[in-house]
Amino acid sequence: MSEKVILAYSGGLDTTAIIPWLKENFGYEVVCACIDCGQEEELDHLEERAKASGAAKLYIEDVTDEFCDDFIMPCVEAGAVYEHKYLLGTSMARPVIAKKLVEIARKEGATAICHGATGKGNDQIRFELGIKALAPDLKIIAPWRMPEVWKMNSREEEVEYCKAHGIDLPFSMGKGYSRDRNLWHISHEGLELEDPANEPNYDELLVLGTTPQKAPDKETEVTMTFEAGVPKSINGKEMKVSDIIRELNKLGGENGIGIIDIVENRVVGMKSRGVYETPGGTILMEAHDQLEELILDRETMEMKKKLGSQFAQIVYEGKWFTPLREAIQAFVESTQKYVTGEVKFKLYKGNIIKAGTTSPYSLYNASLASFTTGDLYDHQDASGFITLFGLPLKVRAMKMQEIEKNQK
């Protein structure tokens, strides 16, 4: 009886060609697993395609809500943004995919997991670190890193390989953008984007929305509520997190929100240029920040920003299943206890414009912040504070004056 391998299957050309390749070179029984994180129409006709390519079975696991609740929201609450721009759309999805691949491998009694990530990208690291952390006994097969066995080096060669194995599938020989999509975002790489000197061809590229220039010349008003850091409603309608993101994607896409063009530093050491569409995610993170700034004290906010940056790097590098991620997330969760309230804003041509924020836990005190003297604050108290706060500066300046005087 043949050993089983679980193939992380997207239905694209790479993973379709891998099915007969695994059978031909290793004699595996191939069980395909498509982990649905909100890929939408990309899942159409997957079962027929997998079976036609020689797969024994196909799992389609809808993990959208788990993805939103257990992976997206910790990143939102942490304010995790990689290199100031990237909202981790692909990075956040990989650990939940790895988790489900391991679960399916255990269920099927498989001895290996195979993925189609290339040897130049970040995803190979994210998949494999997740698998190693959850199932160190399972073998990992990465065809693109096996040139002695994997002989296909182009899209054309993969198409010809499929045809030679009797697989007639609707893949064109032309080259398009390399995309990754889930509920949170869609990424675009390739074609003109391979040269940072080129402007993106947004008319051909965008999927989730439009550019700010082509967005409606009118504001879209939005009101959101949060409880303990988690979004609960949009414009008075309560929804689960996944549906809130779907609604924000629609509103954000229509108004040109969340389009970034970035050259990022990959884990493997090279720079990579891509365009990301994250309309709903951009709004959600901004709304969360807008509420949080009312509630967190200065020192907690400063520490949270530092740890949020580190959290983003941990997620980007595929280290989700680590004690450090758990520890930082525990800190972040402790800061979210009182992040409850209402956030209002307007969407207009790529902009998110504040329109008022309220919270029963707001630390903003109008009498303190005003220019008038109140019971809690006496202007004269600032004199002693400044004297002590600035004492190190004054002492150093006095010493420098003394040194300068002695040198004359």
Residue type, 105: A
Question: DSSP assignment of 114-163, as one string?
Answer: E----TTSSHHHHHHHHHHHH-TTSEEE-GGG-TTT----SHHHHHHHHH
In the residue annotation, 154 being an active-site residue is answered as: no
CA distance 192 to 200: 7
Residue type, 12: G
Residue 8 is encoded by which pair of tokens? Answer: 């992380």
Chain center to CA of 208: 16
In the residue annotation, 123 being an active-site residue is answered as: yes
306-340 residues labelled b (16+ CB within 10 A) or e (exposed): ebbbebbebbbbbbbbeeebeebbeebeebbebbb
Catalytic residue among 10, 53, 91, 123: 123
Residue type, 3: E
**Which residues have CB under 8 Å from 208's CB, separation 6+?**
186, 249, 252, 253, 277, 279
Candidates 158, 150, 153, 131; CA nearest to 5 is 131
CA distance 384 to 254: 53
Catalytic residue among 69, 70, 155, 178: 178
CA distance 30 to 18: 10
Pairing status of strand 178-181 against strand 186-189? antiparallel
* Beta bridge partner(s), residue 114: 7, 141
Backbone phi, psi, residue 173, to 5° = -80, -15
Residue 272 is encoded by which pair of tokens? Answer: 């990579």
CA distance 333 to 272: 32
Catalytic residue among 94, 126, 273, 325: 94
In the residue annotation, 378 being an active-site residue is answered as: no
In the residue annotation, 266 being an active-site residue is answered as: no
Residues classed as catalytic: 14, 94, 123, 178
